[in-house]
A and B are shown apart, each in its own frame.
Chain A
Amino acid sequence: MPFPLITDNIAEAILERQVPTVTRWNRLEGRPRTDAFERALGAEVRDALWLLTRQWQMGEFHGDDAASPILAKVHLATSQLARYRAGAHEPEPFDPGIPLETRVEARAIESFPLDLRLLMGRQWLKLMRDIGDFSAEFLAAYPIEAVDPADAAVCAHPEAWSAHAAVAQRRVDGARLYAHLGTGGHAWDGIAALDPHRAAVDERATRFRAWFARLIHQPGAGDAWVPDRLEYQFACSAPEAERERVLLAEEYYHGHLDWYAVDVGADASSLGGPPQTAEPATDTQVLLPAPVAFDGMPNTRWWAFEDGRTNFGEVRPDTTDLAKLLLMEFALVYANDWMLIPYTLPAGSVASIRGIAVTDVFGERTWIEAAGSGDDADWQRWAMFLNSVEGEAHRPADTTLHGLPVAVGGLEGPAQEEVLLIRDEVANMVWGVERTISLATGEPKPGAEAARETRAFFERALERRLGHAPEPPAMADGAHIRYRAMTDVPEHWVPFIPVHVAGQNREIQLQRARILRTLEGDTEDPLPVEPRTSLLRVGLPGGSYVLHEEEVPRAGVRITQGYQRTRWRDGRAWVWLGVRKRAGRGEGSSGLAFDYLQVVPPQD
């Protein structure tokens, strides 16, 4: 649109004074402030003075009554873990040559599966090879036994049966030889052909036993697993000047040992016996502190590029995420004034800082106190990497760093056994569901499948015994209902029933019970179903197993047992069978009911 007030012929207009007009002045005023921050946060650069102006605005020229730390003098006392105690067993010397997890978690192999038997037999024959070929003799003396058709553990499962049948009478059972050697026997017992080589064979037998002990670590006498709590318990201690520093792990089940697994023993001045004392090694060093830096840390300067790999600004905490908010506030606001002194410690040592004095650039010295010091039971006290003192009493907090010699990384095999403990409020009991069992071959198998196959195996056996398919009892004429004493529950559901704690009439415990394998049409007395996982077979045969009731929460627990393998500082590969506990998946219902009537459709 053309401007309507424009004068076409200016010269004429001025000469003839057509339009009286007054010259006025427009002033352009810059308004640097706005509600939108995007442009300001862009930190645009202008002239040199502008850069200084911005710095002045940001407070970068503001003089503080402070000085930069330049030297830190640290006095440290370190001692080494010296004793170890598994559960309530006798204390033993602490062995730094084994990862602590291996030592704590290792479980004994209850019954040797076929794969271990085979590899042990193979190793033995290879060991014997430089003496001569005696495989026929050992095969005769220690064969993998032929499959017993009545053995449900093998014959119920096709894969277990075929694996056994393939090697039966063809391979040497190394585990039987190992057991024979373990009871003081000799490998040449009963093999006349070995008589000229007895000394050499004995030497091989010693090597064979040492080899297997190194292959899979087993705990020996001191098993730290506490079956009635479903947790590991252990303690270790380091000598100090007047007493023994005891570290207690009352409930360890996480699968990875870390600093938070242990507590500092309060009154226990010893793991047992007279306390071991020794003056800790001390070390005083003067070091240069460096500012703490971490990924995503904001740079204090206005014009500085930050590493964008970690962006705390993108963290979107919910209104209830207090921990997240605290972390962000710490990282974004308070991260600048932290200094760091690197200090190298031998792994597995207990280190306490006796004092730090920091000298600043003006020569002033400041004594630094531990952040987590104070009353141990003070709920507002907070510190990382420090262990709380056992119990709820008001005691001075412990500010020692306990470096445990734990495994770094490692491989975890498939779960050999998995048990889900669930509460069944309808039946008012707890079930141990064997979700995964270990077959006789050493292979894991889903518990439900194994249970079905086992039941089918017994039903087939019954059919053979009866000579015909079992028939359900005939219905009375005109009856539409049938009385049943109990519902069927899958065989891999192991019942735990509440029983009173001895001598009390309020507290209860959970005791493992057994369900009878009732087969339709069976005239003989039914036999009880036994649990198949070593996790639930505690005390069998004959003994009972009682579980603390509080160890099965409403959410249930999931316990897995499997092989783990890790490397140690000397390169040694440690393999052990370990247990781990995780939260379950809520309550479950077995549908177990007693004394009920079943509606039966009328038959023609």
Chain B
Amino acid sequence: MRTWRIASGEFFDGLEDADFPVDTWLYGVARVREKLHAYEQVTMLAGALGRAEPELTAIQLPHRPGDRWLALQFPDGTPLDSDRLLYSAHFAQPFDKASRRQCGLLLDEWTEVIPASDTTTGIAFHYDRPSTEAPQAMLLVTPADFTGGWRWEDLVDALHDTLDLAKRRAVEPAQIDATPYAPLLPATVMAVTARQLTISANLALNSELQTIMAPP
């Protein structure tokens, strides 16, 4: 279980709003939150009609020694390094730690932001960077002759070769059609006979050849 403690004197030390800080906080918040305005009215009417006024107890979690209440102006130099949960409650009965079951009404909740005294700005500029990128493949080059050392030209040629291969990898039949290689390339050829007399793969079957050739 987290440690926590009901706010007491030290918690409010050094606050600018030293007189009844929890009241001051409530009066400020009640102007903008309707439900807390209703709670403020309850406090006022209870006093007017001779009942005990409900008093709020301020709790701040997680508790750190020497912490100050962050709901109002805090003393200079208060470290703001993490989020805090500020919890203000009216205990109709004194809080009983031993009892595991607690019962209450949640009236309102919201988040607040304490702005920093510095702002991070960005200076953006346009600069025409080269748009080249590192290759996506690893190239393992072995020397052509085992001479015990590398020759620079070998390495450069290996790179050029690889790039040439990469370009060839993209060759399409349409680009070969007009060249003398056209009858031979691509060499993905399959034997075929009309009456299946030899091992064959008749691609024309895909075009329903049989319906054309079948005797009527």
Q: Which residues of A contact B (CB under 8 A)?
A: 1, 3-7, 10, 13-14, 19, 21-33, 48-57, 59-64, 66-69, 72, 74, 115, 118-119, 122-123, 126-127, 163, 166-167, 170-171, 207, 211, 214-216, 289, 291-292, 300-301, 303, 336-347, 351, 353, 356, 358, 360, 366, 368, 371, 401, 403, 407-409, 411-414, 562-565, 567-573, 575
Contacts and interface: CB of A to CB of B under 8 A. Distances in A.
B188 interface: yes
Interface stretch (B44-52, B58-66, B91-99, B150-158): B44-52
Given A24-B193, A115-B44, A347 B121 contact: no
Contacts of B44: 115, 118-119, 122, 167, 171
In order of increasing CB-CB distance, the 3 nearest A-B pairs are A413-B32, A572-B73, A563-B31
Contacts of B130: 63-64, 66-68
12 contacts: A4-B214, A7-B197, A26-B191, A48-B138, A62-B132, A126-B23, A301-B133, A338-B124, A345-B120, A346-B119, A353-B123, A409-B113
B180 interface: no
A401 B123 CA distance: 10
Contacts of A118: 44, 48
B194 A21 contact: yes
B172 A575 contact: no
Contacts of A336: 129, 131
Contacts of A572: 16, 72-73
Contact of B115 (A31, A351, A407): A407
Given A48-B137, A570-B76, 18 more contacts: A10-B197, A13-B195, A21-B194, A29-B186, A52-B137, A52-B169, A54-B136, A61-B132, A64-B131, A74-B123, A123-B24, A292-B124, A346-B117, A358-B127, A403-B119, A407-B115, A567-B113, A569-B115
A167 to B, nearest CB: 4
B129 A66 contact: yes
Contacts, number: 303
Nearest to A119: B27
B83 interface: no
Nearest to A18: B195
A171 B120 contact: no
Given A565-B28, A571-B70, A401 B113 contact: no
Interface in B167-206: 167, 169-170, 172-174, 186, 188-198, 200-205
A122 B194 CA distance: 109
Interface string B103-133: 0000000111111111111111111111111
Given A567-B115, A570-B74, A371 B126 contact: yes
Interface residues of B, number: 92
Contacts of A56: 163, 166-167, 170
B57 interface: no
Contacts of A24: 191-193
Contacts of B173: 29-31
Which secondary structure dominates where chain B touches chain A?
Answer: loop
B90 interface: no
Contacts of A59: 131
A44 to B, nearest CB: 13
A537 to B, nearest CB: 21
Nearest to A121: B44
B29 A565 contact: yes
A341 B131 contact: no
Contacts of B162: 49, 52
B17 interface: yes
Contact of A28 (B20, B115, B190): B190
B72 A573 contact: yes
Nearest to B172: A32
Contacts of A360: 127
A408 B112 CA distance: 9
Nearest to B183: A27
Given A30-B186, A123-B20, A51 B136 contact: yes
A123 B26 CA distance: 12
A476 to B, nearest CB: 55
Contact of B131 (A60, A358, A403, A563): A60
